[in-house]
């Protein structure tokens, strides 16, 4: 009996050690911005100031649900959005915190506005204006609808 209890305890604690952290769009919305001049472009851009909570998750495996957007004709840029395409960040219905870049190991087979549950490693991006503020690398996604 004692060995069974120890085995169950070990299984439960080891499973939580490798599980991803669930995040949501409210977590991503806790971000501040300041204007910063980027000499390479000769322009000012909004420079993100990430929350302590999000900084603590950088480099860790996280999971989030959102709308899949495939807006790149070359099929290299994939986005997870808080909102569907008709009301996404690019259409004026939110800020950059309402979308995140997805980097898959291989090209995904999803359609725009599919609702996905995505896991990946969180990368915070404050300096490269060619990429989103929030990036998930090594993504694995599951269609929810």
- 13 domain residue, yes or no: no
The pTM (predicted TM-score) of the whole model is 0.81
Instruction: Say whether pLDDT at 14 is over 60.
Output: no
Residue 132 main-chain phi, psi, to 5 deg = -70, 165
What is the domain count for the chain?
1
Between 68 and 86, residue with greater pLDDT: 68
- 91 domain residue, yes or no: yes
- 100 domain residue, yes or no: yes
Residues 119-138: tens digit of each pLDDT: 999 999 998 888 999 999 99
pLDDT at 12: 41
The rounded mean pLDDT for the chain is 85
Residues 72-120: tens digit of each pLDDT: 878 788 999 999 887 766 666 677 889 999 999 888 999 999 999 999 9
pLDDT at 30: 93
- 139 domain residue, yes or no: yes
- 4 domain residue, yes or no: no
pLDDT at 21: 94
- 7 domain residue, yes or no: no
Q: Specify the 3-state DSSP secondary structure of 97.
A: helix
- 115 domain residue, yes or no: yes
CATH of the domain at 24: 2.40.50.140
- Residue 66: closest CA among 20, 109, 119, 125: 119
Structural domain span for residue 103:
20-143
pLDDT at 2: 53
Structure tokens belonging to residue 93: 């219905």
Between 107 and 13, residue with greater pLDDT: 107
CA distance readout (Å), 101 to 2, 15, 126, 144: 48, 28, 13, 19
pLDDT at 61: 98
pLDDT at 6: 39
């Amino acid at each position: 009996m004692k060995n069974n209890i120890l085995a169950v305890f070990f299984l439960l604690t080891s499973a939580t050690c490798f599980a991803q952290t669930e995040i949501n769009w409210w977590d991503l919305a806790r971000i501040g911005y300041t204007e910063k001049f980027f000499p390479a472009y000769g322009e000012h851009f909004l420079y993100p100031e990430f929350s302590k909570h999000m900084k603590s998750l950088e480099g860790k495996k996280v999971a989030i649900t959102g709308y899949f957007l495939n807006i790149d004709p070359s099929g290299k840029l994939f986005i997870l959005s808080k909102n569907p395409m008709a009301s996404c960040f690019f259409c004026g219905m939110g800020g950059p915190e309402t979308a995140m870049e997805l980097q898959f190991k291989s090209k995904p087979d999803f359609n725009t506005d599919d609702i996905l549950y995505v896991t990946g490693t969180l990368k915070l991006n404050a300096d490269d204006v060619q990429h989103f503020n929030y990036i998930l690398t090594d993504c694995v996604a599951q269609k929810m609808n």
